[in-house]
Amino acid sequence: MIKRQNRVALATLLLFLILFISTGSVLAAMPSFGSGEGVYLLDPDTGDAFAKQNEDSRYNPASTTKLMTALVAMDYIKDRLNERVTVGEEITQIDADSSVADLAPGDTYTWEQLLYGLLLPSGNDAAMTMAVNIGRLAQNDPALGTNAALDVFIGLMNKKAEDLGLTKTHFANPHGLVDANHYTTPREMAQIAKAAFGVSTINAVASTPSYTCVSSNGQAHEWENSNILIHPTVSEISRSQVEAMNLTGTENPYYNPNAKGGKTGYDEAAGRCLVFSGQNGEMHLVGVIFKASDQRDIYAQADGALDTALKDYSHILWSDGQSPYVKTMVSFASVLDGFSISASTKGDAASTVLTTEKDSYSVQVKWDDRLLAEKGNHVRILAPITEGQQIGTLDVYSGSTYIKGIPLYADQAMSPLGWVDYLIMGGVLLLVVLLVVVLVRYRRRKRNQAVYNLRRAEAGYHFEGIKEAEMGAFEEPRTEDEGQTPLPKSFLDMEAAESEDQPSMPMRARLGGKTRYRLKRIRRQ
């Protein structure tokens, strides 16, 4: 008995282990984050978040600010990457112990070289040089003073944030050194990173492990990317990071083959900050981690987030935006606008979901009740709609849990019934009434004419110009001596019937259809 119980217990334990191990091998968990950390892991293709924590809280972004610096600069640099720029006294305004690219006043670099100096070693000197020169370029004033040009550039940074729809972000400098008026949130930083990595030049620079160049004065530079997620070996990482993280051996334990561009940041007040991106097939990730306490922790978190997001998640495409997603009948709409309205998404409408939970997702159309009211299998229009106006949402559910609403936009303009419509409908109704009256009078006149023709025929008239196709064949051929047209057979039959005092045939049959005939008096013998 005891042995049997032991066997059952052992079998249960083995089954549990098998399920646990197999589940763990298929579905990895997101890493854990410290309670004070700000986290936003964004799928840039769908706008969904893989994970988030304190996503709308205010943080100092430290040197991750430089992604916005690069984004604003590229608005003005465009295709002039090889144009040379002179380093000025602006670089003396930064703290001596801040991260630099070792630029020297009077040296010249191309815009492209400055981008590498900005994003790889996180050079505050490169940030200042780019900001001042872009400020002058924006004002079309090469002689604009350093501080004035810097203020112009900072204004452009905040204008860019506004253009991106960011409401909890403000910049006070181009490098990210701590300032009470310099802040953002993890959610909004993810939007900045998405926009920056969407610029091919910035993405290429931020994804480069290392870069070498020589200034106009012959100063050689070798800059390593401070984002160690993209370095396969320890030897590729800067010496200062290797020592700070106590990295040993050959292989970098934080290397992730799916990692792409990124930007690091650190300040004693801001803590460890990291913006990173990755791709695996169709899946993309833009991640933000603010205020981590340790470099090793933040890279372990980013590495784990990349693995989970890019391997265990997939997309559900609800609409491709190329054709209307929904079309429905509309009541009380202007007769000039038709009787149905269609709505579409702008571009692809998709959801990012755990692959194992795909079957639990569904969508439902919800109309804006200020514009359209649900009425069973149709909607009633309540207010004017313009083409391209949002008129509802495509609501996504996981089971019965609401996930998000995807905007639906009108494919055509439509208005409720107005006085013009009532005039048109009144005119149509009047026309119908007139047509009915005319038709009734026409039929009545035909009927009266038929009765008149019949009575004249009974009184001794015959048909002249009879249509053989409608009245039947003649009983006797016409002769020259007779000088008149013989009566049709049907008419002769009618006379024979009447001569025997039989009831007359129905009027329509006797007249042989609806054709009107001209009658001629029969000459009596």
Active site members = 63, 66, 122
Give CA–CA dist 248/233, Å, rounded.
10
Whether 520 has a binding-site annotation, put simply, is no
Tokens of 194: 């998405």
Give SS3 for 310. Answer: helix
Nearest to 349 by CA among 49, 46, 50: 46
Half-sphere exposure of 38 (CA within 13 A, CB side): 24
Please state the three-class secondary structure of 62-105 as a single string: HHHHHHHHHHHHHHHHCCCCCCEEECCHHHHHCCCCCCCCCCCC
Tokens of 381: 């229009």
Give CA–CA dist 289/445, Å, rounded.
92
Say if residues 65 and 290 touch (Cβ distance below 8 Å).
no
Residue 280 β-bridge partners: 283
Tokens of 152: 């112009």
Tokens of 60: 């100092």
Give CA–CA dist 404/384, Å, rounded.
26
End-to-end CA distance of the chain: give it in Å, rounded. 134
Nearest to 68 by CA among 167, 225, 150, 191: 191
Give CA–CA dist 385/412, Å, rounded.
8
Say if residues 259 and 229 touch (Cβ distance below 8 Å).
yes
Nearest to 300 by CA among 240, 247, 238: 247
Tokens of 448: 């009266």
Give CA–CA dist 152/133, Å, rounded.
10
Residue 404 β-bridge partners: 396
Cβ density class 464-500: b for 16+ within 10 Å, e for less: eebeeeebeeeeeeeeeeeeeebbbebbeebeeeeee
Half-sphere exposure of 403 (CA within 13 A, CB side): 21
Between the CA of residue 57 and those of 37, 250, 365, what are the distances in Å? 10, 39, 32
Between the CA of residue 105 and those of 101, 121, 124, 218, 471, what are the distances in Å? 12, 18, 14, 13, 114
The annotated binding site for substrate is made up of: 263
The annotated binding site is made up of: 263
